[in-house]
Amino acid sequence: MTVVDLGMPGTRIAYGSGNLYEETPFPEHARSELGNQQMRANIGHATHTIRAKRGRVVGELPDWQDLRDAGSAIKQEVGARLPELLEQFEANVTARGGIVHWARNAAEANRIVTDLVRAKGVDEIIKVKSMATQEIGLNEHLEGQGIKSHETDLAELIVQLGDDKPSHILVPAIHKNRDEIREIFSRRMPGTGKTLTNEPAVLAEAARTYLREKFLDTTVAVSGANFGIAESGTLTVVESEGNGRMCLTLPKTLITVMGIEKLLPRFADLEVFTQLLPRSSTGERMNPYTSMWTGVAEGDGPEEFHLVLLDNGRSAVLGDPDGRSALHCIRCSACLNVCPVYEHAGGHAYGSTYPGPIGAILSPQLTGVAAEQNNSLPYASSLCGRCYEVCPVKIDIPSILVHLRDEDVRTKHGERDDAAAQQRSTVSAAREAEAAATGAQPEPAEHPDRVKKSRVPSEMDVLMKGAGVVMSSGKRMALAEKALPLGRGALKPFGGAKWLPGMVGGWTQERDIPVPPSQSFRNWWRKHGEETEQRVARDLGSTALAPSGPGEAPSSSLAGHIEEHAGWGAEAQAVIRARAGQSSGGESTKSSDATSTGEEQA
């Protein structure tokens, strides 16, 4: 008998859909946003204020780094045990009177919520601020079904009444100032008029008056969740205005949409995250409102509770060992507040619900970077590493960005054709299902200018291939260096290169290429390399560089290098102090300075 190995049946990965796509490639969108001076001023002021507050409250905790390590370890455990924890969570929610629904993508989640609202015979709901419902486009879907949703978070209300989109994870209306908010309220909010001023207290009171009627009259509420506790079936929402508390307690029916990555294994784990989250997000020591509920309780809170567990590409992210830590995100927005790219381009440039550094890695993975819809987002970073330094759960964003760039390049070179086809098909199917439910035309699966008719090598391909050939051989590199005098002679009269053609012209649009040096560093090192010990002794004196521990291997990640070499910043300061001391040493200093100048000239 012949035995044929058919292999194990595979599971078709479902990638995400909804508000996760760049409508315009990031470079183009960012270029247009850079012209919005008011937006840039608003975001710059707000992010600088928030990160200054964060720095103060984080500095109060001597064990802050230990808390970060604990948060990262808990999230790693969740990823390793996710199927088991989800089953445990479902069982505990159900045992306490809740009803659990599973949604593979945005279309399924929207259909489930719509059916639940219709079953109650209402055409209005109130909502707690929720990234998950923004991700699936719930408000737009419900409106297409004749159901009005009212945002109760002040910033989300501003965005909704202004027919706008959120631009920040924590402060969705960060791009608006007080005058713009006053104009929106005067135009769209009943009961206000020309007498409304731009004072924060007056604007907040107008919103409170407007929302109070909604809280008291609406019987169905929709929320997200910051955390779900597998051990007990408890859900948690943290917020700072009290609107969440009203939505979670007053309506008769509560529907919660939660991404499957928001789980924590144990109730005790909340102790770590209730310290990490408020300090990282708002610069507060604790959240003003932390609401928890476990199923339903007679005479207390909603009479009916539904939980929609949302995948929408999260299982695909979990399947990527190099990128899965993006699911550790607790939506604190600390990475946005320190990112120079976000500060200048704003949140709308990212297209997706998730802007900033975390959006640059999460959105492409949820939709599949090989599908090319979000393949410009991994390049929306300078790789400065600030995002890793402030992330409360130590997500290695810089390394994931590099990984996704590599995936994009491999896709363009035809190495990911099967993955790209699968990602495009799942995205297209989800979009067609959503369009069928709303009666709208399905959006195109990818940017028209991204469709490749053939794989002709690009200018970048040619440049990188040529650089690889030269730099992979010491002899070829030495030959190339012999051209330095020619380049120096050609550019010196002009003070450098002011313009270059083709793709490399992007460099000279923003900066000049300086005149090449008279000799290469390798030639200089041949003459002066033996002086290293004397230079170290002169600069550091008795300061010793900390050696690596026994058996320590260098980290392969950018974030790892940032952490491993953080001590070198202190060594650099020691060098500066040593040189400053030498500068006050009279004649001996002059001799040292002369030697230094001579070496630099050489």
Cα separation of 30 and 345, whole Å? 5
Rg over alpha carbons for the chain, rounded to the nearest Å, is 28
- pLDDT tens, residue by residue, 125-145: 999 999 999 999 999 999 999
Under the banding of pLDDT at 50, 70 and 90, the label for residue 286 is very high
Q: Considering only CA atoms, which of 215, 304, 219 is closest in space to residue 256?
A: 304
- pLDDT tens, residue by residue, 493-547: 777 777 777 767 777 777 777 888 888 888 888 888 888 777 777 776 665 555 5
Angle, CA 501 vertex, CA 500 and CA 505 arms, to 5°: 60
Task: Supply the DSSP symbol for 11.
Answer: P
Under the banding of pLDDT at 50, 70 and 90, the label for residue 6 is low
Under the banding of pLDDT at 50, 70 and 90, the label for residue 148 is very high
Q: What is the dihedral of CA 158, 160, 165, 171, to 10 degrees?
A: 40
Instruction: Pinpoint the alpha helices (H) of 368-458.
Output: 386-390, 397-412, 417-438
Q: Which residues contact 515 (CB under 8 A, 6 or more apart)?
A: 488, 491, 492, 495, 496
Mean pLDDT of the region 60-76: 96
Task: Tell me whether residue 555 is in a domain.
Answer: no
Higher-pLDDT residue of 487 and 597 is 487
Task: Tell me whether residue 479 is in a domain.
Answer: yes
- pLDDT tens, residue by residue, 541-581: 665 555 555 555 666 666 666 665 555 565 666 666 666 66
69, 394 contact by CB (below 8 A): yes
Beta strands across the sheet bearing 234-239: 263-264, 227-229, 234-239, 289-293
Number of H helices, E strands in the chain: 28, 10
Model confidence at 85: pLDDT above 60: yes
Task: Supply the DSSP symbol for 565.
Answer: T
Using the CB atoms, write b or e for 209-226: b if 16+ within 10 Å.
ebbeebbeebbbbbbbbb
Mean pLDDT of the region 256-265: 97
Q: Considering only CA atoms, which of 429, 313, 414 is closest in space to residue 362?
A: 313
Mean pLDDT of the region 444-457: 52
- pLDDT tens, residue by residue, 407-443: 998 888 778 777 777 777 777 777 777 677 666 666 5
Cα separation of 310 and 317, whole Å? 13
Question: What pLDDT does residue 438 have?
Answer: 63
Q: Which residues contact 160 (CB under 8 A, 6 or more apart)?
A: 139, 150, 151
Task: Tell me whether residue 498 is in a domain.
Answer: yes
Which range among 288-292, 447-451, 470-474 has the greatest average pLDDT? 288-292
Q: Residue 237: phi, psi to the nearest 5? A: -125, 130
Question: What pLDDT does residue 13 have?
Answer: 72
Question: What pLDDT does residue 223 have?
Answer: 97
Name the packing angle between helices 82-95 and 64-80 (round to 10°).
90
Task: Supply the DSSP symbol for 473.
Answer: -
* Lowest pLDDT segment from 13-17, 235-239, 561-565, 584-588: 584-588
Q: Which residues contact 442 (CB under 8 A, 6 or more apart)?
A: 428, 431, 432, 434, 435
Under the banding of pLDDT at 50, 70 and 90, the label for residue 173 is very high
Model confidence at 89: pLDDT above 60: yes
Under the banding of pLDDT at 50, 70 and 90, the label for residue 594 is very low
Question: What pLDDT does residue 602 have?
Answer: 29
Cα separation of 437 and 446, whole Å? 21
Tokens matching residue 364: 């492409």
Task: Tell me whether residue 572 is in a domain.
Answer: no
Q: Considering only CA atoms, which of 206, 134, 200, 136 is closest in space to residue 165?
A: 134
Place of tokens 């009290």: 242
* Lowest pLDDT segment from 130-134, 385-389, 390-394, 575-579: 575-579
Under the banding of pLDDT at 50, 70 and 90, the label for residue 181 is very high
Task: Tell me whether residue 502 is in a domain.
Answer: yes
Under the banding of pLDDT at 50, 70 and 90, the label for residue 448 is very low
Model confidence at 220: pLDDT above 90: yes
Higher-pLDDT residue of 320 and 475 is 320
Task: Tell me whether residue 512 is in a domain.
Answer: yes
H/E element, 290: strand 289-293
Question: What pLDDT does residue 514 have?
Answer: 84
Higher-pLDDT residue of 146 and 506 is 146
191, 209 contact by CB (below 8 A): yes
Question: What pLDDT does residue 257 have?
Answer: 98
Q: What share of the chain is helix, strand, coil (3-state, %, to 5)?
A: 55, 10, 35
N- to C-terminal Cα separation, the chain: 80
- pLDDT tens, residue by residue, 334-369: 999 999 999 999 999 999 999 999 999 999 999 988
Task: Tell me whether residue 484 is in a domain.
Answer: yes
DSSP bridge pairs for 310: 103, 259
Instruction: Tell me how far CA of residue 205 lies from CA of 72, 185, 192, 221, 428, in angstroms.
Output: 40, 11, 11, 22, 44
Question: What pLDDT does residue 582 have?
Answer: 60
Instruction: Give residue 514's domain range.
Output: 473-528
Question: What pLDDT does residue 595 have?
Answer: 35
What's this model's pTM, rounded to 2 decimal places? 0.81
Cα separation of 412 and 378, whole Å? 14
Tokens matching residue 305: 């509770």
Tokens matching residue 95: 């045992």
Under the banding of pLDDT at 50, 70 and 90, the label for residue 4 is low
Summary mean pLDDT of the chain: 84
Instruction: Pinpoint the alpha helices (H) of 391-544.
Output: 397-412, 417-438, 459-471, 474-481, 484-491, 505-510, 521-528, 532-540
Tokens matching residue 237: 């929402």
Question: What pLDDT does residue 584 have?
Answer: 52
Task: Tell me whether residue 506 is in a domain.
Answer: yes
Using the CB atoms, write b or e for 546-558: b if 16+ within 10 Å.
eeeeeeeeeeebb
- pLDDT tens, residue by residue, 91-134: 999 999 999 999 999 999 999 999 999 999 999 999 999 999 99
Question: What pLDDT does residue 600 have?
Answer: 32
Q: Residue 53: phi, psi to the nearest 5? A: -65, -40
Tokens matching residue 278: 């408020």
Q: Which residues contact 111 (CB under 8 A, 6 or more apart)?
A: 437
Structural domains in the chain (count): 1
